[in-house]
A and B are shown apart, each in its own frame.
Chain A
Amino acid sequence: MSATNAPSRRVRLTPLTVRDYLVLLLAVLIVVLPLGYMILASFKGAGDLATTDLVVFPDVWQPQNYSEAAQKVPFGRLFLNSGIVTVVGAGLKVLLAILTAYGLVFCEFPGKKFVFWGVLATMMVPPQVTALPNYVFVSGLGGENTYWGIILPGLGTGFGTFLLRQSFMQLPFEVLEAAHLDGAGHWRRLWHCVVPMALPSIATVALVNVVYEWNDYLWPLIIITEPEMMTLPRGLTLLQNSESAASSFGVLMAGTVMVLLPILAVFALLQRHIVNGFTQGGVKG
């Protein structure tokens, strides 16, 4: 493995290297084993789950756990709901962040500083603190069990705006100046210069928001009561409540796998960008 990457630098097995390898191996196992155990459990039937012995691999594989989970909770519909909420929510958030960041960096208007701090400070307000008044407000407008009721309250974005502002400020100003002199207005400068140049940062913000929207739990828990309108994590609550017997743990795990797997797949494909997004979110902004 090392030979292909760096033929000249072979790793010598010093005690320190061995120690570090052990640390990494242990860390990886601690992450992988529970997840693997969960996936295996999603194929277990009543027999495997009734015993107190350690059962790692199912005695008889039960893929029907998945269809059973899908029967108890309308998983197909939940997938669709989660997809809609994630795509629309993350998409609109990114759009708003791009527009606001552009305005903050490239336009002059009175109170710009104030607006910037007002946007930035939203990151300090946890959604849990605003949940109750927002519930009263949104349900009063008929937003319970609607897509807009799930999506709208979370749209105002401080995080994305902040990150994109930092990134827009790094852009080469000569390019924008030239576009300006060529008569390009703000709108064209935004879409033809700024967005293409800042695409990596925009993708990062988008990915972080996708992960966030897909996993969001508290707000859908509060605003959605009808199974048909639930998102996937919200639907798990329903499944958990219906699966009180230990023997049907396999069904619950099947549902859990269906919630976790899509985001794991996205992560496997784009892990570098996602890790960047989450960590650069604050590190020296």
Chain B
Amino acid sequence: MPGTAVATTKRPRQALSGRRIREWLIFVAFVLPNIALIAIFVYRPLFQNVYYSTLNWTLGSKFATPVGLGNYRNFFTSGEAGKVLTTTAIFTVATVGLTLVLGLCVALALNRKLPGAGLAQATVFAPYILSGYGVGLAWLYIFDPNIGALSAILRDVGLNSPEWINSPPWTLTMVILVYVWKNLGYAAVVYLAGLQAVPVDLMEAAQLDGAGPAKRFFKVTVPLLSPTTFFLLVTTILNSLQAFDLLIAMDKLGRGARTLIFDAYLTGFKEQSQAGYSAMLSTVLFAILVVLTLIQLVVVERRVHYR
């Protein structure tokens, strides 16, 4: 790594103590503010959240009863865990799968560098930077069972529109579709970068060996893209687990798309303001994130070869 500093050029030992102090002052002035903010607003609440999760406590109330692992027990034995975790899993798997597959399709088309591909890339990426809440509201109008464009179109072709907004499975489907719409461009752009790193001579060699387009795609492109796929898998899973504003915009009461994170918000700040229970839910979410990150680290060590 070229990261070793200019400031560490060798000096006689006596000079060091003065330098040490100077370097410390630099640390205090440069690095400490950020570290302090992170400590106060990221790490402190992270641990406090674990403590809160052992309380029976209503937000705003002065009294809290310690219940140990009671909140966790309630969650896992009442059947709520099954429901919430299933919703979370469906949402995550569906959004990640669709985003990656469709993103790769778009990336393959973009990679041909057709005229206008640049504009297409920018357009497809645009939803990714939009407010999830705003996007959710805009789509809600399209999905509206009475006045929405989608139901009108479906009626015109002789089909009945599903109850997108009032039937939980359809609500979840709707939210998944819109979430994929919003995030597709990100996967496409990252895949495009991966595709551009695929060596041309390898492709030509495969072609000379008589491999058709399909075979080249599955035997050369896909394996060579595995680091990109893995990276996308990790980032999109983590993002999907944290998806919130789109969900609350489209499913205000959490009838269909009540994922873990959404549940934590609703129980903590709405409904009965069960702060302890809510803290338990977000602690579970964090535990899942930690496990996924550890798996990622192990897999990166062992299997994925970044070149």
Contact = CB atoms under 8 A, between A and B. Distances in A.
Interface string A254-285: 00100110011001100100110011001110
B193 A279 contact: yes
9 contacts: A11-B114, A52-B146, A54-B156, A108-B5, A108-B23, A115-B31, A128-B285, A132-B268, A186-B30
A102 B33 CA distance: 13
User: Sorted from nearest, which 5 A-B pairs have the closest CB atoms?
Assistant: A156-B37, A156-B38, A133-B45, A54-B152, A130-B45
Nearest to B290: A124
Interface string B105-120: 1101110101111011
B106 A253 contact: no
Contact of A20 (B30, B31, B108, B275): B108
A106 B137 CA distance: 47
A240 B137 contact: yes
Contacts of A214: 131
Interface residues of A, number: 102
B124 A27 contact: yes
Given A28-B120, A177-B6, A256 B45 contact: no
Contact of B133 (A104, A177, A233): A233
Given A53-B152, A128-B261, A132-B49, A222 B269 contact: yes
A162 to B, nearest CB: 12
Contacts of B244: 128, 217-218
B131 A115 contact: no
A196 interface: no
A31 to B, nearest CB: 5
Contacts of A35: 127, 138
Contacts of A271: 122, 125-126
Given A246-B147, A279-B186, A132 B278 contact: yes
Given A103-B27, A107-B23, A236-B134, 20 more contacts: A1-B115, A24-B106, A24-B116, A31-B185, A41-B141, A100-B31, A108-B5, A129-B285, A132-B264, A132-B279, A134-B41, A152-B37, A211-B129, A217-B131, A217-B245, A217-B248, A218-B245, A233-B133, A236-B133, A246-B147
Contacts of A163: none
Contacts of B181: 30-31, 34
B298 interface: no
Contacts of A106: 5-7
A261 to B, nearest CB: 10
A88 interface: no
Contacts of B282: 128-129, 131-132
Contact of B189 (A115, A118, A256, A279): A279
Contact of B112 (A17, A54, A232, A249): A17
A155 interface: yes
B306 interface: yes
Given A1-B115, A215-B132, A283-B193, A38 B5 contact: no
Nearest to B245: A217
Given A27-B124, A30-B181, A103-B26, A97 B114 contact: no
B35 A118 contact: yes
A283 to B, nearest CB: 6
A256 B138 contact: yes
A275 to B, nearest CB: 5
B72 interface: no
B235 to A, nearest CB: 6
Given A24-B120, A99-B31, A275 B189 contact: yes
Contacts of B119: 28
B174 to A, nearest CB: 13
A129 B141 contact: no
Interface in A1-39: 1-2, 5, 11, 16-17, 19-21, 23-24, 27-28, 30-32, 34-35, 37-38
Interface string A159-190: 00100000001100100110010000010010
Contacts of A253: 137-138, 141
Given A103-B26, A124-B290, A134-B41, A108 B7 contact: yes
B49 to A, nearest CB: 5
Contacts of B285: 126, 128-129
Nearest to A166: B3
B5 A161 contact: no
Interface string A113-136: 001001100101110111111101
A158 interface: yes
Task: Tell which of B35, B126, B190 has the most Cβ of chain A within 10 Å.
Answer: B126
Interface string B77-110: 0000000000000000000000000000110111
Contacts of A137: 44-45
Contacts of B37: 96, 152, 155-156
A169 B190 contact: no
Contacts of B135: 260
Task: Tell which of A133, A236, A284 has the most Cβ of chain B within 10 Å.
Answer: A133
